[in-house]
Amino acid sequence: MENEKKIDSEYKERVEREKKLFSQNKENETLEADFESFITSLGMQAMIALGEIENPVTNQKEENLKEAKYLIDLLGIIREKTKNNLNKEEANLLDNLLYQLRMIFLEKNK
pTM here?
A: 0.73
Mean pLDDT of the chain: 86
CA distance 38 to 19: 13
pLDDT for the residue numbered 14:
72
Q: What residues does 55 pair with on adjacent strands?
A: 60
Residue range(s) defining the domain that contains residue 17: 2-108
Torsion of Cα atoms, 47 then 107 then 96 then 34, to 10°: -20
Radius of gyration of the chain (CA): 14
pLDDT for the residue numbered 4:
55
- 28-81 pLDDT tens trace: 566 678 999 999 999 999 999 999 999 888 999 999 999 999 999 999 999 999
- 91: burial class by Cβ within 10 Å (0-12, 13-18, 19+)? middle
Mapped onto helix, strand or coil, the DSSP state of residue 63 is strand
Number of domains in the chain: 1
